[in-house]
Every structure is written in C-alpha cells, then in structure tokens.
Structure 1
C-alpha cells in the first residue's frame, strides 16, 4: 500500500466526518449563521474533491494489483462525497421558506442523515475488507518471492550437482583409460613371459639333449 495514498485517505476520512457534523449543525441554524456554515461546508467539499483527485492520481501510478484495490476504495469515497453534496443542497433549499425548512428537518434531513450514516458504515466495512484483501495480496506476493528465491536456490544446487557429476564422469573416464592402458601393458607382459617361458624351455631341452649325448659318448667308450 502507498504511504502517500494512506496519508490522503486519512485526511479525507477526517474531513468527511467533520463535514457530516457540520451538515447536521447547519440544518438547525438560520440566517447568517446558516450561510456561514454552508460556506464552510462547500469549502470543505472542494478540499475533499481535491484529496480524491490526488488519491486517484496516486492510485493510477501504482502496480495493477494494488491500483485495483485503491480505485475500489475511491469509488466508495466518491459516493460518500456525493451524499454530502446532496445533503448540502437539501440544506440550502431549506432557505426558501420556514415551512420547507421545518419539513426538511423533520423528515428529509432525518432520512438523509440515516442514509449517510449507513453509507459511512458500508464505507468503513468496505475499506476494512479492501485492506484485508490488500494484506492478502502482499502475503501472496511475499510467498511468491520466497518461492522464486527457493527455486533459484534449487536451480543453483542442481547446477552445482551437475558440475560435480560431469567432473566425476571425466574422472571415471580418465580412470577407464588408465585401466585400459594397464590392461594392454599386462597383456604384453604376459605375452613376453610366455615367450620367455618357451625360450627357457627350449634352452633346457637343448641342455638336456647335450648332456645326454655327452654321457652316451663317454659310456660307449
């Protein structure tokens, strides 16, 4: 909620309540006192209209979700101000003759004051409901931001885990290459050992044959 709007709103509510009291007081006055009171009320209505215009400009400069709530409030305030204008017109029309004024005070003013009181009650109820709606919007926005931050954190963690997995994959690939090289080396060593084994076997066989021949020739003499 805009602090500027709330400041104008407080001023308007105080001014509206003050004007309603002045309307009630003006209905019971006569002559110059009544004219002076009516003049004060009209001046106050002009001031109230100026506040509503300021609130309207401020509301339209805000974000769409907040603007909708504030413009709904403004409709209630404009309706309240129109009621005040109607009341002052009835009070002014009471200057035509004493009997009209008395009739206005006895019936019309009572109805107008009752309607105005009902309107203000509805206005207060609507304002409270709109404030609650605004609070829910704020809570939803805060929850959305927290969810967004959580999502960013999860994505960051997933990215880190992906980098770790890629690094582990590269490491395993390197180990696999080393194992392959070691296997080739062992295979070559095994071949060489088999070759050497056959060579040694051949040498031993030759030696055995040579020894046998030597013994044969010696024994035959």
Structure 2
C-alpha cells in the first residue's frame, strides 16, 4: 500500500464529508449566502477532482495487484464525487420552491446523503483494511530486513572462520613440509650410519684376518 495514496485518500474523504455537509446547508439558504456556499462547494469539488487525479497517477505507478484494488476504490470515489456534482446542480438550478426543497430535504436529498454516507462508510472500512494490510506488509518487510541482517552477520562469521581454516591449513602445509624435510634428513643419516657400519665391519674383518695370518705364520 502506498503511503502517498493513503495521504491523498484521507484528504479526499475529509473533503467529501465536508462538501456533503455544505450541500445540506446550502439547500436551506437564499440569495448571496447560497451563492457563496455554492462557490465554496465548487472549489471543494475542484480540489476533490485534483486529489482523485493524484490518486489515479499514484495507483497506476504501483504493482498490478495493488493497482487493481486502488483503481476499484477510485471508481467509487468518482461515483461519490458525481453525486456531489448532481446535488450542486440541483441547488444551483433554483427551480425548487420551498415545498419542493423541503421534500428534497426529507426524501431525495436524505436518501442521496444516506447513500453517500453509507458509501463513504464502506470506503473508510476498505481504507482501514488496506491500512492494516499495509501495516502487516511493513511488519513483514521489517522482519525480512532483520533476517537479512542476521544472514549477513552469519556470512561474515563464516567468512572469518574460513579465513581461520585457510590459515590453519597453510600452517599444516608448512609443518608437513618441515616433517618431510626432517624425514629426508633422518633417512640420509640412517643411510650414512648403515654405510659406516659396513665400513667398520669390513675394517674389523680385515684386522681379524690380519691377526689370524700373523698368528699362523708365527706358529708355523
């Protein structure tokens, strides 16, 4: 629901109710007072038409589902305004005598005003329902924004945890490289130790053979 449309709508409903009261009062007036009151009513009708045009432009700029509802309300407002124009024409015609005027006040005028009042009542109820719907939409939008903010916060936390995991992974790769280097060094040392063992064993074997030969030749 558009807040701009709601503002125009409130202005129109207040203005329409005021014009209806002025029409009722103008029927019982005569002379300059009647002309002045009719002039005020016509000015109010012009203002009402301007508000309806503004509401029409605003409604047509909204989404299709909202626009359809608002345009239906506008048709009722236009019908209500046409009734006011008809009342003004009957007042301006001046062809009504006192008894006809009284009859108009008692019957036709009362019926028209009653119909207009009922119509405005229905419109006000529709406006109230749409206002409540707008409040629910605003509440849903606020909840959506809070959910979006929570989602952004969670994404930021996940990003921070991802950076920590990447850092830990890089550290583990460094430790793994160091372990690999240490393993290669230990393997090389083990090979050297084995080589030295063979060399020492060969030397010992040579000494043993030499001692045996020396003892052999001495004993012989």
Does TM, normalized by the shorter one, top 0.5?
yes
1:90-122 deviation per Cα after TM superposition (whole angstroms, max 9, x unaligned): 444563444433332221112111101101211
Which residue of the partner structure matches residue 194 of structure 1? 194
Task: State yes or no: 1:204 paired with 2:204.
Answer: yes
Conserved in 2, the CA contact under 8 Å of 1:94 and 1:104?
no
Aligned residues: CA RMSD: 3.3
Conserved in 2, the CA contact under 8 Å of 1:94 and 1:101?
no
State the TM-score, normalized to the length of structure 2.
Answer: 0.77
Q: Measured at CA, do residues 93 and 111 of structure 1 come closer, stay the same or move farther in structure 2, by a change above 3 Å?
A: farther
Q: What is the rounded CA distance, in whole Å, between the counterparts of 1:208 and 1:65 in structure 2?
A: 109
Q: What is the rounded CA distance, in whole Å, between the counterparts of 1:209 and 1:163 in structure 2?
A: 68
Q: What is the rounded CA distance, in whole Å, between the counterparts of 1:87 and 1:54 in structure 2?
A: 24
Displacement of 1:89 in angstroms is 3.2
Which residue of the partner structure matches residue 25 of structure 2? 25
- What SS is found at the alignment partner of 2:149? helix
Q: Measured at CA, do residues 169 and 65 of structure 1 come closer, stay the same or move farther in structure 2, by a change above 3 Å?
A: farther
1:37-94 deviation per Cα after TM superposition (whole angstroms, max 9, x unaligned): 223212221222233334445x269764897476666455434323322333344456
The runs of 5 or more residues in structure 2 that have no matched partner are none
Aligned pairs (5 A) from 1:52-63: 52-57=52-57, 59=58
Conserved in 2, the CA contact under 8 Å of 1:90 and 1:104?
no
State the TM-score, normalized to the length of structure 1.
Answer: 0.77
- What SS is found at the alignment partner of 1:14? helix
Aligned pairs (5 A) from 1:1-221: 8-57=8-57, 59=58, 64=63, 68=67, 74-92=74-92, 95-218=95-218, 220=219
- What SS is found at the alignment partner of 2:107? helix
Q: Measured at CA, do residues 153 and 61 of structure 1 come closer, stay the same or move farther in structure 2, by a change above 3 Å?
A: farther
Q: What is the rounded CA distance, in whole Å, between the counterparts of 1:72 and 1:172 in structure 2?
A: 69
Q: Measured at CA, do residues 128 and 35 of structure 1 come closer, stay the same or move farther in structure 2, by a change above 3 Å?
A: same
Higher normalized contact order (CA 8 Å, seq sep 6+, divided by chain length) = 2
The runs of 5 or more residues in structure 1 that have no matched partner are none
Q: What is the rounded CA distance, in whole Å, between the counterparts of 2:73 and 2:138 in structure 1?
A: 17
Q: Measured at CA, do residues 78 and 140 of structure 1 come closer, stay the same or move farther in structure 2, by a change above 3 Å?
A: farther
Q: What is the rounded CA distance, in whole Å, between the counterparts of 2:49 and 2:193 in structure 1?
A: 108
Q: Measured at CA, do residues 98 and 63 of structure 1 come closer, stay the same or move farther in structure 2, by a change above 3 Å?
A: closer
